[in-house]
């Protein structure tokens, strides 16, 4: 079970790095991608990513608990899942509201939710790295 947790942690880490820190910023630089198109793509991609993350969090936490990992592994895994929960419950709805406004043509005040989401992604990456490293040892 520890090997399953390790694999799931590193798959999760790879997905977050590839999508949040590579795909998301690059899509707006592609020729012909408008703000509306980029937002639409981003919403679909992040909805899929978050669904995969929920599954991976369940796999990691289950495998860590079943294999009776040490407290630091459990703590790092729980921290990662908690960050994901905060993103899904508090930050994603704010991002959705803002993108709805932009897509409807509103040019109101910018939301800081995107910066919060990115900061939480960085925390999640660190927590995944810690959990993965501890699982390897």
Cα 4 from chain centroid (whole Å): 20
Look up the domain containing 60 and give its range. Answer: 2-136
- The tens digit of pLDDT for each residue in 104-133 reads 888 777 789 999 999 999 999 999 999 999
Question: pTM here?
Answer: 0.93
Per the document, the length of the chain is 137
Task: State how far the Cα of 93 lies from the Cα of 113, in Å rounded to an integer.
Answer: 9
Q: What is the pLDDT of residues 70-108, one digit of tens each?
A: 999 999 999 999 999 999 999 999 999 988 888 888 877
Q: What domain count does the chain have?
A: 1
């Amino acid at each position: 079970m520890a090997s399953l947790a390790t694999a799931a942690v590193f798959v999760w880490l790879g997905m977050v790095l590839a999508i949040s820190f590579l795909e998301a910023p690059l899509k707006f630089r592609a020729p012909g991608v408008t703000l509306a198109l980029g937002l639409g793509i981003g919403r679909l991609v992040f909805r899929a990513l978050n669904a995969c993350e929920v599954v991976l969090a369940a796999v990691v936490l289950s495998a860590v608990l079943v294999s009776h990992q040490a407290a630091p592994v459990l703590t790092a895994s729980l921290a990662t899942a908690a960050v994901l929960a905060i993103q899904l419950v508090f930050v994603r709805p704010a991002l959705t509201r803002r993108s709805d406004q932009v897509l409807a043509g509103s040019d109101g005040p910018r939301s800081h939710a995107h910066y919060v989401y990115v900061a939480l992604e960085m925390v999640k990456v660190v927590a995944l790295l810690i959990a993965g490293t501890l699982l390897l040892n």
